Amino acid sequence: MTQTDTNGRGIRRTLQGVVTSSARDKTIAISVTRTVRHPKYHKFLKKHDRYHAHDENNTCNNGDVVVIEEARAYSKTKRWRLKQIVEKAAE
């Protein structure tokens, strides 16, 4: 997770993840994985979070690695927008 400044609008968070669903029109679901350390046993665990993002041109497919950034609320669950596609999935 990084912070960037975009056009004088303040700091917006960006996340990188894998597209898990692109079935809906102009919407993609992204799975973001992070590692956390267990407070008692000190084992590293993988935590998964799922975000919905706005994809204006329907360019993403399942398996693509993408970067999303915070945006205005597009719908009840969409609070992110597609910033760039890092890697396309093998077809």
pLDDT in tens, 46-57: 999 999 999 999
Coil, strand or helix at 61: coil
> In the predicted model, what is the mean pLDDT of residues 33-50?
97
Domain around 41: 2-87
**pTM for the predicted model, two decimal places:** 0.83
**Distance (Å, whole) CA 72 – CA 90:** 32
- In the chain, the number of structural domains is 1
pLDDT computed for residue 91 by the predictor? 75
Tokens 């041109």 label which residue? 57
Query: Per the structure block, which two tokens stand in for 19?
Result: 């597209």
Residues 6+ apart with CB under 8 A from 40: none
- CATH number of the domain enclosing 57: 2.40.50.140
